[in-house]
Structure 1
């Protein structure tokens, strides 16, 4: 079934919002003071982001292809697998969805934001921070993680193995994100997605939260540029090696 661009954009907006709500919601549950999940380990965040990608994929994979990531949209377009005329609309609603999703996280955890005094814990529920305070380390981490994410996502959804059951393929995407957060997430967060980092960071800048500290804009280009470059390369490599002409 062919869906209109408007319907597909609605799917991208809602899908990106769900990803951020479930993903950054899990971060807020762990990082913010006095929540029921405060002090839980990294596994909770990995599951939050894994299922935060899996649920929209299952809902919208057959509607908009569930990009929910500008790096994926741009990578597809550069390799001729997505129309350039739809790139800006897709990216725009992805950013709006991430902004809205983060606003929902703040609304649901507002009392716990007020009780948290560590600015980096607060910022970490919005966007990414390199734990080593190194832009180079952050760039490498985001590039490698995003390359595996997008190479894997394209491979899973295009693999002949799943050609008769894309629903199972979309389940696989969630587990791919889960293991990426579990294995590579300790360094930066991670973003693996420009919209997931930049839109919430902007909201962090705008909101008058207690003890929020700086939004660390000097680092903000890393989780935007690294995923975009990795996405373009990942799709080019996969298409060149494994997609039949």
Structure 2
């Protein structure tokens, strides 16, 4: 597998993953969207289909990691060379940024309508309220379209939730076996993994919104911080380390268990 294969596959696959995953969040959240208030089931299945699409597109090119936690897990397991890890991680982050920009462009009018709606603006806490809510830093009204956030802000619980959920994802991937290249899942594996992602969302997504992928959260959060949106509010950077560190730890633990108990 060449460096260009890894770059093209991971960038394209991750961009599609974030475009469709962030897209379903936008569809269910934003004013003037036909799918507004579609609910958690729509979001969880939307993310599952997003994983399926990205994995099918990138699977034959780069192995379709699409997730640094998966890349680290495969490197610990031995299916991915450590020398390839930086290229995988950089390509995944770039793809996530591209995907988030595409969500913004696809829903541009809905973002504008949502962020200028008096009801939406009235529901946001003012500066005095935010001083009182020291445990809950400001997160803008559309940040949830881009990135995750906890329902109960508790560092230990939030971190453990991301570790546990990502552990489930990576151990499920590793125990399916690798494709012929030894570097990712085959076609059936992509389908199974997408269903695992739906299951994680339904069962473990409630506390934090189940990032289970560092670039899925970090790339779109960067985009949220940079794009020109009226009244967009904060990007909640004080929380941003949790959906990065938690999934990486969960992926590493899953690979460690796999090597001890399954390999």
Normalised to the residue count of structure 1, the TM-score between the two structures is 0.91
Q: Does 1:135 align with 2:155?
A: yes
> Match of 1:180?
200
CA separation in 1, counterparts of 2:190 and 2:74? 18
Q: Is the CA contact 1:74–1:232 (under 8 Å) kept in the aligned structure 2?
A: yes
Greater Cα radius of gyration, structure 1 or 2:
2
In the TM superposition, 1:77-156 aligns within 5 A as 77-117=75-115, 118=120, 120-156=140-176
Summarize deviations over 1:196-245 as a string: whole Å, max 9, x none: 101110111111211211100000000000000110110111122112xx
Contact map agreement 1:194 1:223 (CA 8 A) in 2? yes
Q: Is 2:19–2:103's contact at 8 Å kept on the other side of the alignment? A: yes
**1:152-231 counterparts in 2 under 5 A?**
152-158=172-178, 166-231=186-251
For 1:9-48, list aligned pairs within 5 A: 9-48=7-46
Q: 1:94 to 1:166 in 2, by over 3 A?
A: closer
Total equivalences in the alignment? 236
CA separation in 2, counterparts of 1:153 and 1:133? Answer: 29
Q: Which residue of 2 aligns with 1:67?
A: 65
Q: What root-mean-square deviation, in Å, do the aligned CA atoms of Structure 1 and Structure 2 show?
A: 1.7
Displacement of 1:186: 1.7
Distance 1:7 1:82 in 2: 14
What's the CA shift for 1:121?
A: 4.0
Q: Which runs of 5 or more structure 1 residues have no equivalent in the other structure? A: 160-164
Contact 1:127 1:197 in 2 (8 A): yes
TM-score (norm 2): 0.85
Contact 2:9/2:59 (<8 A) preserved:
no
Report if aligned partners of 2:68, 2:213 keep a CA contact under 8 Å in 1: yes
Paired with 1:115 and 1:187, the residues of 2 have a C-alpha distance of 28
Structure 2 regions of 5+ residues with no counterpart? 121-138, 180-184
CA distance in 2, matches of 1:79, 1:241: 12
